Homo-oligomer: A and B are copies of this chain.
Amino acid sequence: MEEIIRRLEKLVKEREWEKYHTPKNLAMSIAIEAAELMEHFQWNEEDFPDVRKNVEKRREVEEELADVMIYCLLFFYYLGSDVKVAIMDKIQQNEKKYPYLGKKQNIYKKEGNSNMS
Contact = CB atoms under 8 A, between A and B. Distances in A.
A15 B106 contact: yes
Interface residues of A, number: 81
Contacts of A75: 61, 65
Contacts of A41: 22-24, 27-28
20 contacts: A11-B94, A22-B41, A22-B48, A23-B40, A24-B28, A24-B38, A27-B34, A27-B38, A31-B35, A32-B39, A32-B117, A33-B117, A61-B75, A62-B86, A63-B90, A65-B76, A66-B86, A67-B116, A69-B72, A69-B83
Interface of A: 1, 4, 7-8, 11-12, 14-17, 20-25, 27-48, 51-52, 58, 61-73, 75-76, 78-81, 83-84, 86-91, 94-95, 98, 100, 106, 108-109, 112-117
